[in-house]
Amino acid sequence: MLLGEHSVVYGHPCLVTAVNQRIYVTVKTITTPKIILNSPDLKIKNYQKEIKQLGQGELAKEVKFVEILIKNFREKFGLTTGLEINTHNDFSTQFGFGSSSAVTVALALALAKLFEIRLSKKQLFTLCYQTILEIQGVGSGFDLAAAIWGGTIYYVMPAKIVKKIPVKNLPILVGYTGIKADTATIVKDLAKRMEENPDLKNNFSKISQLVERAKLALSNRDFASLGELMTANHQLLKNLGVSSKELENLTQASLSAGALGAKLSGAGGGDCMLAVYDKKDQSKSIEQAITQVGGQIMLVKLNAPGAKIENAQNNF
């Protein structure tokens, strides 16, 4: 998330970009009416469940998104056959890069290809968004949109507006606090605080104004302005109470090292932050500043492509 987190949940726009680290999903049909799931990165080996029982009982977080997506796909398209699903990641799911949304999108796309069902990007989004809401209860779907459309996008939930922003390179570093945050819990906690203090909602309209200006700055490759807008967005998120000591340490260290701007990225409470830099040699000093205060630099490229079929055979 570049700008607009939290306000996006309440119908305001945001700017989001896809990262180049990917989740791979392969699927094939099997004769028995059950699913078999193998996800070595999540230490899942030979997980099995009857097709008709998908979504029932207590679901482990690691299998929840796979189960509910297949259940919803089955209800919509009449799936009767069993499935074997294998997944692997380019990265650790601990970093808060939208891995749950990514695996949901990848699996939905693979199933559509396997059963020769044509889905537009919007239809793919709707199927996946239903799954996210069923599991989390809340969510704007911006991470689904990033996974589906790819690149850098201007987004209004639930995919009412998805507009690609033509930008090639984003001079932005990603730092990780070392703390895994729970997005749904943070969103719900903020909702409770806003019930007690409705004035907090005033921050959303201010964030929206920053998003609109940042959209223009991105289009013009005006990264100095983008940095200022991102720092201002961080302050508003801090006003909402979703920052943390670790995020403050990383953003302040980045700014002190010469970053054009810095902010938390995502729900807050931990996970990642962003720092905009001017020149490549400047990025090194910002990286050092982030690591010196306990952060970790994420080696990712932004503005990456969205979900795609890479190796489709008759039976995957």
Question: What residues are labeled active site?
Answer: 143
Instruction: Catalogue the E-assigned strands of the chain.
Output: 14-17, 23-30, 34-39, 44-50, 82-89, 152-156, 161-164, 172-176, 261-265, 272-276, 296-298
- Residue 145's closest CA among 272, 32, 4? 4
- Pair of tokens at residue 203: 């921050």
Please name which of 191, 70, 92 lies closest in space to residue 140, comparing C-alpha atoms.
Answer: 191
Q: Please tell me the distance from the alpha carbon of residue 227 to that of residue 315, in angstroms, as a whole number.
A: 47
The interaxial angle of helices 142-149 and 99-114, nearest 10 deg, is: 50
DSSP designation for 36? E
CB of 156 within 8 A of CB of 13?
Answer: yes
- In order of 114, 182, 304, the CA distances from 109 in angstroms are 9, 26, 18
Please give the Cα distance from 55 to 118 (Å, whole number): 25
Of 237, 103, 101, 262, nearest to 174 by C-alpha is: 262
Half-sphere exposure of 32 (CA within 13 A, CB side): 7
Question: What are the CB-based long-range contacts (under 8 Å, 24+) for 190-198?
Answer: 190/6, 190/240, 190/241, 190/242, 191/138, 193/240, 193/241
